[in-house]
Amino acid sequence: MVNIILSGCMGHMGQMVTKAASQTDDVKIVAGVDKASGDPGGYPLYDDISKCAEKADAVIDFSAAAAVDSLLEYGRKTKTPLILCATGYSDEQLQRIEEASKDVAIFRSANMSFGISVLSQILKKNAAKLAEAGFDIEILEKHHNLKKDAPSGTALLLADAISSGLDEEYPYVYDRSKRSEKRPHNEIGISAIRGGTIPGDHDVIFAGEDEVVTFSHRAYSKAVFAKGAVQAARFMKGKGPGRYDMQAVVEASV
């Protein structure tokens, strides 16, 4: 059995993970944490992870970037692997996550879907070929109107995958409204659209002369992310200090 503490359990993703875990016979949520009150569905709820008495094999977090310090403190103290799925971390928070991973196992992925992991590998392998052939790189992401951070963590994850395959640095450009100049070739444009209930669309566009290559990923339901988090929990049980990501889960599953 893989026992989980679920942080952000009252939110949309928290409830998706609750449902995904209930559909397995080897993953069990033993406690939930959320600053909102209510009935999470079959397990005790705490407003702070430090109050949580239950022991777990992993913490899954789908709350918010602001919760990271209390999660890192809990992870360090109890040596419970942390699966950080929230997005919108600042550079300082990312630095603290890196530091804490010397003491406790930390999994972080801005996108928990299998498809995005495979897409990242494809981009890393092919970006340089397309960029050297003169293709300009643009990423367009679309999400529901409740999403607070922009661009999405996934758009940045895809941009990082592209960057890791390029020989030189391409700065990320989020806003051209204050620029009045021709687009330089060596940059990655990232644009965000918010509206309706879109679970998550990402298009990576390589625009060349007279031809365009587009790699697209569509999440049709947030359930894909919950399923990925449950897979990650199985993978993280018993792991020692260090950084882990969805790539490792995908590799372990094939």
Q: Is 144 a catalytic residue?
A: no
Indicate the helix (H) or strand (E) that contains 2: strand 2-7
Catalytic residue among 124, 142, 143, 217: 143
- 46 forms part of the interface with ligand NAD (CB under 6 A): no
Least distance CB 125 / ligand NAD (angstroms): 22
- 82 forms part of the interface with ligand NAD (CB under 6 A): no
Q: Which segment (18-26, 108-116, 180-188, 230-238) binds ligand NAD by CB under 6 A?
A: 108-116
What DSSP character marks residue 13?
H
d(CA 146, CA 87): 14
Using CB under 6 A, pick the residue from 18, 31, 40, 63 that binds ligand NAD.
63
Residue from 152, 31, 26 nearest 80 by CA: 31
Q: Which is nearer to ligand NAD, 130 or 157 (CB)?
A: 157
Strands (E), 34-115: 45-46, 58-61, 82-84, 105-108
d(CA 159, CA 127): 10
Catalytic residue among 28, 147, 237, 239: 147
Using CB under 6 A, pick the residue from 18, 80, 101, 109 that binds ligand NAD.
109
- 107 forms part of the interface with ligand NAD (CB under 6 A): no
Beta sheet of 242-244, edge-to-edge order? 45-46, 27-33, 2-7, 58-61, 82-84, 105-108, 242-244
- 127 forms part of the interface with ligand NAD (CB under 6 A): no
All residues at 6 or more sequence positions from 195 whose CB lies less than 8 Å from its CB, including other chains: 142, 144, 145
DSSP SS3 for 173: strand
- 249 forms part of the interface with ligand NAD (CB under 6 A): no
List phi, psi (to 5°) of 243. Answer: -105, 135
Q: Which position's Cβ is nearest ligand NAD?
A: 11
- 76 forms part of the interface with ligand NAD (CB under 6 A): no
Least distance CB 80 / ligand NAD (angstroms): 16
- 17 forms part of the interface with ligand NAD (CB under 6 A): no
For residue 180, the one-letter residue type is S
- 18 forms part of the interface with ligand NAD (CB under 6 A): no
What DSSP character marks residue 190?
E
Residue from 220, 230, 192 nearest 62 by CA: 230
Least distance CB 129 / ligand NAD (angstroms): 28
Q: Chain-centre distance of CA 249, in angstroms?
A: 13
Q: Is 143 a catalytic residue?
A: yes
Give the residue numbers annotated as catalytic, written as ranges: 143, 147
Residues of the shown chain interacting with ligand NAD in the complex, contacts defined by CB under 6 A: 8, 10-14, 33-36, 62-64, 66-67, 85-88, 109-112, 222, 225
